[in-house]
Structure 1
Amino acid sequence: MYRFFVLSCIALAAALSGCSTTKQSSPDTSIKTSSVIAPEGRKLAYSADGDAAAPLLAGPHHLAGRTLEISSLADLKLHDKEVILSFDDGPVPGRTDKVLAILDQFGVKGAFMMVGQMAEMHPALARKVAMDGNAIGSHTYRHANLSALSFDAAMAEVTKGEMAVTKATGTDVAFFRFPYLAESHRLRAAIAMRDLVVMDVDIDSKDYFTTTPASVMQRTMNLLHKRGSGIILMHDIHKRTATMLPTLLSKLEGEGYKVVTLKFRKTQAPSNLVASADFVMTR
Structure 2
Amino acid sequence: MRAYTTAHLSFSLPEGHPFPLYKYGGVAEALKGLLPILPAPEVPREALYLAHEGEYLAKLFTQGLTREESLRLGLPFSQALLQRALHAAGGTLRAAEDALEEGLGLNLAGGTHHAFPGRAEGYSLFNDVAVAIHWLRAKRGFGGRVLVVDLDAHQGNGTAVFFQNDPLVFTLSLHGERNYPLKKERSDLDVGLPDGVGDEAYLSALEAALEVAQDFRPGLVFYNAGVDVLKGDRFGRLALSPEGVRRRDLAVFRFVKGLGVPLVVVMGGGYNRDPALTVAAHAETYRLALSSLA
TM-score by length of 2: 0.30
TM-score by length of 1: 0.30
User: Which has the higher Rg, Structure 1 or Structure 2?
Assistant: 1
